Amino acid sequence: MQLSIIRPTLPSVYEIMQLLGPSWEAGTVTLGPTVKLLEKEVCQQTGAKYCVALSNCTAGLMMIPRALGLPPGKEVIVPSFTFAATAQALLWNGLIPVFCDCLPETCTIDPEDIERNLSPKTVAICGVSIFGLPPDNEALLDLGRRKGLPVYFDSAQGLGATYNGWPLGGFGLCEVFSMSPTKVVTAVEGGLLTTNDRSLAEQMRSLRDYGKDPIKGEEMHCLGLSARMSELHAAVGLLSLRMLGELVTARRELIAIYRDRLSSLPGCWVQEFPENRTTSGNYFVLFITDSAKASRDQVQEALKGVGIQTKRYFYPPLHAQALFQRFPRRVSSRLGHTNKISREALALPLYSHTTLEEIDHVCVQVERLLS
């Protein structure tokens, strides 16, 4: 049995063409009615007032600092335990990432370590959903209010998650979601920025379209990108979004099986889900400590040998990657939890249509190695 780490759950080609047909016939292939409908339904799902559909999540992360007017040479707080795009977007804007530690139970950024690393050069805080679990949004927003700093969220993996009973999408100045093939809801490729700030939404609409002046049309009034979402991608994304509840429920049920079978293996642990948060179920990660029967890397190689794809995620942490050592950066003096969990984390196959037989097969192989 060959199992991939991810496999997107996609709508049928027939459904896509039914939805896309009018735009296709009219030759309206970008920023058309399907994009607008996707943006409307995202607002309905998340409770955010505004949504801006993008070609990808990274483009959104790149444009946020520019929309917020963050000056080059200043610092933005980010976790080191995250995907590279979180910090790469800062480098593109001439900003300095400040890599902070994560909490050992949830793997999300540690609010206390953020506060320890604030400096006169700090201009923003970026919280990140990890494996689909939101950070402590309330603590980050409170810190931002006390220090007069904008807080935005890289919720790339978080669409479908909740915090204090509210869906992600309306927290902080803005949030940005990914709709790549590795996410619960996919447009094949795409991104979504949500916000309750009308001015910010208008800025992002201009920035995604080269920086065009919304009134004068072709005249550029700011430095933007080509980050528009096509009608084709919007059609896939809209149909996928309409399955959000079903997709998230399926993943949470599969994760519950993984947790029940694997969390008590000697030397292993799993991510903690606080009572006030739910996960989108983007990934299931097993943490394999030094006291386990086999190391994380040995388990990965053994599973590869029987056709099971896994991923060391996130590894290495950003502060240890060569790219970020070539640019100005600042690193927290307390990254012990980040270093530890990065050495231990192994993502196992998970997608919304994973069968119980497939989950059982993975569990049997992992139990054989670690029991």
Q: Is the dihedral of CA 15, 51, 171, 132 positive or negative?
A: positive
* Helix, strand or coil, per DSSP, at residue 3: strand
**What is the pairing mode between strands 122-128 and 151-154?**
parallel
| Residues in contact with 228: Cβ distance below 8 Å, sequence separation at least 6, in sequence order | 30, 31, 54, 55, 208, 209
The full set of domains in the chain, from first to last, is: 13-241 (3.40.640.10), 244-370 (3.90.1150.10)
Measured distance CA(124)–CA(95) in Å, rounded: 10
Q: Give me the tens of pLDDT residue by residue for the chain, a chain 371 residues long.
A: 899 999 999 999 999 999 999 998 999 999 899 999 999 999 999 999 999 999 999 999 999 999 999 999 999 999 999 999 999 999 999 999 999 999 999 999 999 999 999 999 999 999 999 999 999 999 999 999 999 999 999 999 999 999 999 999 999 999 999 999 999 999 999 999 999 999 999 999 999 999 998 777 778 988 999 999 999 999 999 999 999 999 999 999 999 999 999 999 999 999 999 999 999 999 999 999 999 999 999 999 999 999 999 999 999 999 999 999 999 999 999 999 999 999 999 999 999 999 999 999 999 999 999 99
Q: SS3 of 275, please?
A: coil
Question: Do 316 and 297 touch, CB atoms closer than 8 A?
Answer: no
